Amino acid sequence: MSEPTQHPGGPRRGTSTAGVLRAAGVFVAGFALAVTALLPWAGLTAEFGILNASLTHAVRGVDAGPGWFVLGAGITAMLLGVLGATRNWLFTGLAILPGAVAAFALAMFLADPHDLVGRLDFQVSGLLRVHPTIQYGWFAGLLASVALAVLAAVALLRRR
């Protein structure tokens, strides 16, 4: 019998279809996470009662510090997904860390240390109401970070 060949960087996993699919899932979730950093996360909405209209000024994720962390976490997860498909299954499981970093950065985005929300939320009865809003990009980022963490955890649990 021949000895199995050892590869530098650790043992290679078999080319199982399920392992490649899990790595591809992590790659896609990482890509979605990176894209959400470019979407609007929050905004300031002014509603005009007389005109029955509203105006929103949006803030994208990369306009603030946490958005850059989410973008970096998404790119890192994409890289780990590629490494998980081509090298070792453990890389796919390690993508749980960028998912956790992104979820923490999204939570920190909502933390308002200067009570900005209280200062920006005001209303002139029947005429004007100004209030901060959370936009769809923040929710998409949260969903992508949770999906990334779940896919990475599944990759870790399936190999045990």
pLDDT band at 147 (very low <50, low <70, confident <90, very high): very high
Q: Look at residue 49 and give its three-state secondary structure.
A: coil
Q: Rounded to an integer, what is the distance from CA 47 to the centroid of its chain?
A: 30
pTM: 0.75
Q: Say how far apart CA 153 and CA 156 lie, in whole Å.
A: 5
Residue 46 β-bridge partners: 55, 130
- Please list, in sequence order, all residues whose beta carbon lies within 8 angstroms of the beta carbon of residue 69, skipping any fewer than 6 positions away: 101, 102, 105
> What pLDDT does residue 85 have?
85
> What pLDDT does residue 45 have?
80
Question: What angle, rounded to 10 degrees, do the helices at 17-36 and 65-86 form?
Answer: 160
Q: Say how far apart CA 102 and CA 152 lie, in whole Å.
A: 14
Residue 53 β-bridge partners: 48
Q: Say how far apart CA 43 and CA 139 lie, in whole Å.
A: 13
Nearest alpha-carbon partner for 150 in 102, 87, 109: 102
Q: Say how far apart CA 34 and CA 67 lie, in whole Å.
A: 9
> What pLDDT does residue 114 have?
46
> What pLDDT does residue 11 have?
45
Q: Is pLDDT above 60 for 119?
A: no
Q: What is the pLDDT of residues 30-69, one digit of tens each?
A: 999 999 999 998 888 888 777 777 777 788 888 888 899 9
Q: What is the pLDDT of residues 69-110, one digit of tens each?
A: 999 999 999 999 999 888 888 888 889 999 999 999 999 988
> What pLDDT does residue 86 have?
87
Nearest alpha-carbon partner for 72 in 103, 37, 104, 106: 37
